[in-house]
């Protein structure tokens, strides 16, 4: 292309000291090419530690503690430390699994919100020392850090500043307690590659208030581990991606303005998901997500491990979008990773290996303006090519033989800053270029999932960049086809509907909890399932030769006989019957207009028959940023719909803001009722004075 100056740059310039660089710039007789070969930084750039961290791409999160044994997501800190008693803890098994999964490190919840320390901290009375495990002589951090070393993994720690157990929490003294705990963790267990600071805090308006001394906390980490990456909502090392689904924005800048973010600020989900093009600070995204619905192990989620296709969506939504992936694999009550989780991790690894093992662009001839640019297709991350212009820079790839691919990968040399704002991929078809994809940012790595494409010639156009783009590599791959999983739903009449997005799958299912095989009933038409129970379904192709993952759903009584007894005024087209229509995509919402009635809001349902209730479930809306979700509730039952008495359950949903998944609340006893009443007492998002419910359900099983 005209106007493009071709230069091969080497990233090792980045490792030169600035003084050396200046010296060579000033005193060598510069030609235009030499001047170009040391491109200036554009905007903030990563530190050496951030660069090394970015190249880790994929590592394990482990949530483990009293919650593992009490089936809670947020422990209250008042649990008996004796409940922590893994029967066969094996940290080497965790490390072995992470390593085999292709992960580069492990971050463990050294201290979660319940304050329980997985090491015998001298600054707490709620630790492994007080637990029943190993008669109080155990130390999980010691075992895990040693195992990580053995398996060549990096070791990282999560410490929650919010501590529901420590008597000093909410007083000035607590910051020093936390610093002392950080010091223990950072001095006793060798190198720590990442320090995870959680911004979550569920104290509520009347709870304890603690003003965290972040300067002191960060300073303590850096004192012992100057190269540690500090995670928090806004860094400084890396930032939260704004959700707990593991999905970064399709546009994802590694830059933000740190002055605009502090841990727990809230309302920044979109900001953090996409970063800020003009951001003054380099704070790349890290996408955290759990392989199960909850962060902690629960026997009830053994059959809810995310499917292979879901995990692939997460991989492409994080690593494929310029973010690192921190995948949580909760350790079980034995103190081991459950076989269901490790099986899925290995399936994922196998598909990723198959996909990325051979780069089909390696033999391509890359040119720009008729000149060869070997650097972008040489498979070496040390070499790169800098376009001569910031806009409309074109690089063309020609193949000796046509190549067939469905993954396109491109990387910027981020050492000089993230530059690309928009790019396009085109293939030559019958003499004309046809667009395959048009996207925004690239960053360290961008992977596009494309339809299977065969081409002899293609081109990448950097449409717009902050400054002339510097591209490390362009690669092409062919991913194997992954069978899409069965989807199980129940319709308004309480009948099961099983489907699959894959082409021509045969669907088999069971209703007795057993694993579906080709011999199990074949799904052909909706199956009546009003009373509920456990459904397992699996998609098969090739006459049963290949099966997808088993999908499990637990249903309770279907709301076929239910009717609304009373509900607070609803927003237009969002009436209360939508909360009991069995369809998670429709929502009841109260009025959002200014001046409308504020909290509390309530809904009353006539179940149409007397049922033995063990609990209730609340599914928050999943669209529109979970708007109207509530966190504090009271639940009542009645036999006549008039007298309600005291609530059978009252409390707060744990972690509903960050993870708005279905909440299942068990009463701990069975109550008879024909009428139920759910009162929403406090909004999850302070400014919202309205309530919403996607589905309200009962638990009878």
Q: Which residues bind ligand FUL (CB under 6 A)?
A: 73-74, 198, 200, 288, 295, 655, 658
Tokens for 296, please give them: 């902690």
Quote the least distance from Cβ 202 to ligand FUL, whole Å: 8
Q: Which of 72, 136, 143, 152 is nearest to 110 (CA)?
A: 143
The nearer residue to ligand FUL, 51 or 311, going by C-beta atoms, is 311
587 and 621 in contact (C-beta within 8 Å)? yes
Q: Please say whether the beta carbons of 392 and 461 come within 8 A.
A: yes
Strand 393-412 relative to strand 470-477: parallel, antiparallel, unpaired? antiparallel
DSSP 224-293: H-TTPEEEETB-SSEEE-SSSBS---SS--SEE-GGG--TT--S-HHHHHH--TT-SEE--EEEEEESSS
Minimum separation from the CB atom of position 539 to ligand FUL (A): 31
**For ligand FUL, which is the closer residue by CB, 284 or 294?**
294
C-alpha span between 86 and 133 (Å, rounded)? 6
Q: Backbone phi, then psi, for 663, in 5-degree steps? A: -100, 125
Of 480, 402, 409, the closest CA to residue 439 belongs to: 409
Q: Which CB sits closer to ligand FUL, 200 or 678?
A: 200
CA distance 17 to 25: 12
CB of 484 to ligand FUL, least distance (A): 28
Taking a C-beta distance cutoff of 8 angstroms, is the pair 632, 651 a contact? yes
Question: Smallest distance, Å, CB 652 to ligand FUL?
Answer: 12
String of DSSP letters for 640-670: SSS---S-SEEEE-TTTTT--PPEEEEEEEE
Of 295 and 423, which has the nearer Cβ to ligand FUL? 295
Q: Report, in Å, the least distance between residue 659 CB and ligand FUL.
A: 7
How many residues in the chain?
701
Please choose, from the candidates 554, 561, 600, 604, the residue with its C-alpha nearest in 3D space to the C-alpha of residue 579: 604
CA 242 and chain centroid, separation: 9
Q: Which is nearer to ligand FUL, 75 or 417 (CB)?
A: 75
In angstroms, the Cα distances linking 365 to 182, 368, 371, 458 are 52, 10, 10, 11
- H/E element holding 113? none
Nearer to ligand FUL, 195 or 658 (CB): 658
Q: Which is nearer to ligand FUL, 232 or 500 (CB)?
A: 232
Q: Is 133 helix (H, G, I), strand (E, B) or coil?
A: helix
Q: What is the spatial distance between Cα 595 and Cα 598, in angstroms, rounded to a whole number?
A: 8
Question: Residue 141 or 395: which CB sits closer to ligand FUL?
Answer: 141
Nearer to ligand FUL, 136 or 264 (CB): 264
Q: Please give the residue whose beta carbon sits closest to ligand FUL in the complex.
A: 200
Residue appearing with tokens 């194997």:
480
Nearer to ligand FUL, 79 or 198 (CB): 198
Smallest distance from ligand FUL to CB 381, Å: 31
Considering beta carbons, is residue 151 or 240 the nearer one to ligand FUL?
A: 240
Q: Which two tokens stand for residue 128?
A: 């492994």
Shortest distance (Å) from residue 146 CB to ligand FUL: 24
d(CA 155, CA 180): 20
Q: How far is the CB of 165 from ligand FUL (least distance, A)?
A: 15
In the complex, the smallest distance separating the C-beta of residue 265 from ligand FUL, rounded to whole angstroms, is 13
Q: How far is the CB of 257 from ligand FUL (least distance, A)?
A: 22
Query: How near is the Cβ of 443 to ligand FUL at its closest, in Å?
Result: 23
């Amino acid at each position: 292309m005209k106007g493009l100056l071709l230069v091969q740059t080497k990233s090792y310039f980045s490792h030169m000291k600035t003084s050396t660089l200046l010296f060579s710039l000033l005193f060598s007789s510069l030609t235009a090419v030499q001047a170009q070969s040391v491109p200036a930084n554009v905007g903030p750039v990563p530190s050496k530690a951030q660069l090394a961290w970015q190249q880790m791409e994929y590592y394990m999160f482990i949530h483990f503690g009293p919650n593992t044994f009490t089936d809670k997501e947020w422990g209250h800190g008042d649990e008996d430390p004796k409940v922590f008693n893994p029967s066969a803890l094996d940290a080497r098994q965790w490390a072995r699994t992470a390593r085999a999964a292709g992960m580069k490190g492990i971050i463990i919840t050294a201290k979660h919100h319940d304050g329980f320390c997985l090491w015998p901290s001298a600054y707490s009375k709620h630790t492994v020392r007080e637990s029943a495990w190993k008669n109080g002589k155990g130390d999980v951090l010691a075992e895990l850090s040693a195992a990580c070393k053995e398996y060549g993994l990096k070791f990282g720690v999560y410490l929650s500043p919010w501590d529901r157990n420590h008597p000093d929490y909410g007083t000035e003294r607590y910051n020093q307690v936390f610093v002392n705990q950080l010091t223990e963790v950072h001095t006793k267990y060798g190198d720590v590659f990442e320090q995870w600071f959680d911004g979550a805090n569920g104290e509520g308006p009347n709870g304890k208030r603690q003003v965290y001394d972040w300067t002191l906390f960060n300073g303590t980490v850096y004192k012992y581990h100057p190269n540690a990456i500090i995670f928090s909502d806004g860094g400084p090392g890396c930032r939260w991606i704004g959700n707990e689904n593991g999905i970064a924005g399709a546009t994802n800048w590694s830059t933000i303005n740190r002055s605009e973010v502090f841990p727990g600020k809230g309302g920044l989900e979109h900001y953090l998901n996409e970063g800020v093009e003009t951001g003054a600070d380099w704070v790349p995204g890290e996408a955290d997500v759990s392989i199960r619905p909850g962060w902690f192990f629960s026997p009830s989620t053994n059959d809810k491990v995310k499917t292979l296709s879901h995990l692939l969506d997460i991989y492409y939504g994080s690593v494929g979008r310029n973010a690192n992936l921190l995948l949580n694999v909760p350790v079980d009550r034995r103190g081991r990773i459950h076989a269901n989780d490790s099986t899925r991790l290995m399936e994922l690894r196998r598909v990723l290996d198959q996909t990325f093992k051979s780069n089909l662009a390696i033999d391509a001839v890359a040119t720009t303006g008729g000149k060869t640019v070997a650097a972008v297709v040489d498979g070496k991350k040390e070499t790169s090519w800098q376009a001569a212009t910031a806009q409309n820079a074109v690089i063309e790839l020609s193949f000796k033989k046509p190549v067939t691919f469905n993954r396109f990968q491109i990387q910027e040399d981020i050492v000089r800053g993230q530059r690309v704002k928009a790019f396009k991929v085109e293939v030559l078809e019958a003499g004309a270029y046809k667009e395959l994809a048009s996207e925004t940012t690239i960053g360290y790595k961008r992977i596009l999932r494309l339809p299977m494409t065969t081409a002899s010639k293609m081109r990448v156009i950097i449409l717009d960049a902050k400054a002339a783009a510097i591209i490390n590599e362009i690669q092409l791959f062919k991913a194997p086809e992954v069978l899409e999983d069965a989807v199980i739903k129940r319709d308004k009449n309480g009948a099961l509907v099983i489907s699959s997005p894959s082409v021509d799958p045969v669907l088999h299912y069971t209703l007795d909890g057993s694993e579906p095989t080709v011999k199990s009933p074949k799904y052909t038409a909706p199956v009546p399932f009003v009373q509920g129970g456990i459904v397992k379904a699996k998609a098969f192709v090739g006459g049963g030769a290949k099966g997808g993952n088993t999908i499990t759903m637990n249903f309770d009584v279907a709301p076929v006989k239910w009717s609304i007894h009373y509900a607070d005024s609803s927003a237009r087209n969002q009436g209360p019957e939508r909360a009991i229509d069995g369809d998670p995509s429709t929502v009841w919402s109260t009025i959002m207009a200014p001046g409308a009635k504020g909290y509390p809001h309530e809904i009353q349902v006539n179940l149409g028959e007397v049922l033995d209730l063990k609990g209730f479930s609340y599914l928050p809306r999943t669209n529109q940023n979970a708007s109207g979700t509530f966190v504090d509730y009271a639940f009542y039952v009645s036999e006549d719909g008039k007298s309600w008495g005291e609530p059978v359950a009252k409390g707060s949903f744990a972690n509903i803001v960050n993870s708005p998944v279905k909440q299942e609340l068990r009463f701990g006893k069975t109550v008879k009722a024909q009428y139920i009443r759910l009162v929403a007492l406090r909004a999850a998002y302070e400014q919202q004075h309205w309530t919403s419910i996607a589905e309200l359900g009962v638990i009878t099983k």
